[in-house]
Amino acid sequence: MITFDRDPNNYKHWKVDIKENKATLFLDVSEKDGIKPGYDLKLNSYDLGVDIELNDIVQRIRFEHPQVKVVVITSNQEKNFSAGANIYMLGQSEHTWKVNFCKFTNETRNGFEDSSESGSLKFIAAVNGICAGGGYEVALACDEILLIDDRSSTVSLPEVPLLGVLPGTGGVTRLIDKRKVRKDLADIFCTNADGIRGKKAVDWKLVDYIAPPSKFADLIDERVKKITSTVKLRDGKEGIKLNKLNRNITNEGINYDCLNAKINREDRIANIHIIGPTSNDVLNLEDIGKKGCDWWPLKFARELEDLILLLRTNELEVGVLTMTSEGSTDDILNVTSIIEKNKDVWLINEIIGLLRRTLSRLDLSSRSIFTIIDNNSCFSGLLAELLFAADRTYMLNNAMSPDDLKGPFITLSDINFASLEMVNGMSRLATRFNNDELKLKKLRNIIGKPLDAESAFEEELITVIPDDLDWSDEIRLSVEERTSFSPDALTGLEANLRFPGKETCETKIFGRLTAWQNWIFNRPNAVSEKGALKLFGTGSRAKFDNKRV
């Protein structure tokens, strides 16, 4: 089983140096320590294991080292920054592995940008050698790219001429959308295997600054000092140690403190059951600092992120996630209120960022999501996001119950309108209603008001509200129908329906990742026995089917 948590004392591919407000990450890939056997990670090339460590390192810097404002990513190998994703790994991997690898690497890169935009960490790529393909994608995700001007160091996206695939999975989008490289120059760049160096790289906007080897360290220090002054929310005195998750994996599911996942492999369903906060989590800032990673919102975000990644990678045939919850609506609303009122405090800002990125992982997972609200549920406040992340929501309607039952209820909060935006830059509520300002204004007027099934349905927040007689059958039949459909068709359907409206750099990256790159990865020109990925490094030329269709 592939897991995504790492012990910082046992990193194999990265060296970390933290001094005052700067953290320097040195990429030094251990060639023989690929996450799977069968290939060597030469030339600082990376596989999923290298990126898992990078994700863990950045996460720990966010929470454990609040004095750090700038992260510098560079290489510990002479004249070699990174050759990018390991081609031999890609050549021998099955399609599903390539998909999950590309998605995780992009989410890690997007995390750099998310931190930067939210007042948290800034990132500098100090490119001190050859920087190709996915290595350049790491640099593109940073706020600035510095290139050593030594006549040999270049940046490149050589996938088209060398591998027969798209240049990167986010590289081309960041090139023209983020760095504003002119499209004809980008065309030359992406079809040139040799790369671009020195002043020309600056002129083409491929990098921001260059310096000769004798002055490169000074350039890094100068840019760190400059960028540090722009960081808004990294002023903590004491960090929060991210202890090992309390996780128990069995054949039946995966259990944590704040949530449990029960996996039914025969029916291809996983139920994620969330255990909400208690009154012991309604704390002041000082006590939150003392509770550390055991404070419910942080623990919940870490556990949900870990679960999403485990299910994606290890449970490929699970196609439907049903989301349920239990707990006090008052407690989740009180905890949400603490977050909303203190969002400019460094720790709370980092927790919001982790929640935002984790919920985005859920949005971007190729799984159907049904959220189910019963009498025990606490889908209010920040947990209401799981109503709007879902493809459908089912809420028990007790209005006609002979027992005169009240509820269940859902309640909106300010956080549902801002702070936890999707990759399209809009809240899930705004996305749900295609950014209809009149509708959103009406919903803002009922913040804090408990809504039963009929009220929630009237406000268009719920999909179906069966009564207790139809409840079990309605959900069972809906899930059975969903699992009978083509998984490929559902992936395409959900990817289109979940992100209406405007495009962002991130939606383009993931849209192209789903519709283009992964299609290319599945085509004979790339992966047949005579395909470019299979023949890379053998000295033989790929044989292409030249029909363009």
Distance CA 223, CA 215 (A): 12
3-state class of 75 per DSSP?
Answer: strand
Neighbour count for residue 71 (Cβ, 10 Å): 27
- 120, 59 contact by CB (below 8 A): no
Distance CA 181, CA 505 (A): 14
CA trace torsion 138, 143, 148, 153 (10° rounding): 30
Long-range contacts of 340-346 (CB under 8 A, 24+ apart): 340/413, 340/414, 340/415, 340/419, 342/285, 343/419, 344/233, 345/233, 345/285, 346/66, 346/120, 346/233, 346/234, 346/235, 346/236
Using CB atoms within 10 Å of the CB of residue 484, give its burial: 0 to 12 exposed, 13 to 18 middle, 19+ buried: exposed
Question: Which residues, including other chains, have CB under 8 Å from residue 467's CB and lie 6 or more apart?
Answer: 396, 397, 398, 399, 400, 401
Per-residue pLDDT of the chain (549 residues; tens, 9 = 90+): 999 999 999 999 999 999 999 999 999 999 999 999 999 999 999 999 999 999 999 999 999 999 999 999 999 999 999 999 999 998 889 988 988 998 999 999 999 999 999 999 999 999 999 999 999 999 999 999 999 999 999 999 999 999 888 887 688 999 999 999 999 999 999 999 999 999 999 999 999 999 999 999 999 999 999 999 999 999 999 999 999 999 999 999 999 999 999 999 999 999 999 999 999 999 999 999 999 999 999 999 999 999 999 999 999 999 999 999 999 999 999 999 999 999 999 999 999 999 999 999 999 999 999 999 999 999 999 999 999 999 999 999 998 776 767 889 999 999 999 999 999 999 999 999 999 999 999 999 999 999 999 999 999 999 999 999 999 999 999 999 999 999 989 988 898 899 888 889 888 888 777 666 677 888 889 888 998 888 888 889 999 888 887
Distance CA 283, CA 16 (A): 33
Distance of CA 214 to the CA centre of its chain: 38
Q: Taking the chain, what is the end-to-end CA distance rounded to the nearest angstrom?
A: 39
The one-letter amino acid code at 188 reads I
Residue 276's closest CA among 333, 195, 349?
333
Q: In this predicted structure, what is the pLDDT of residue 515?
A: 67
DSSP state of 383: G
Q: In this predicted structure, what is the pLDDT of residue 536?
A: 87
Using CB atoms within 10 Å of the CB of residue 385, give its burial: 0 to 12 exposed, 13 to 18 middle, 19+ buried: buried
Full set of structural domains in the chain with CATH: 8-153+196-228 (3.90.226.10), 248-488 (3.90.226.10)
- 327, 378 contact by CB (below 8 A): yes
pTM here? 0.95
Q: In this predicted structure, what is the pLDDT of residue 44?
A: 96
Structure tokens at 319: 């196609």
**R_g of the chain, CA atoms, integer Å:** 24
Alpha helix segments (H runs only) across 118-158: 134-140
Most distant CA pair in the chain, distance: 82
Q: In this predicted structure, what is the pLDDT of residue 393?
A: 98
Distance CA 265, CA 373 (A): 23
Neighbour count for residue 97 (Cβ, 10 Å): 19
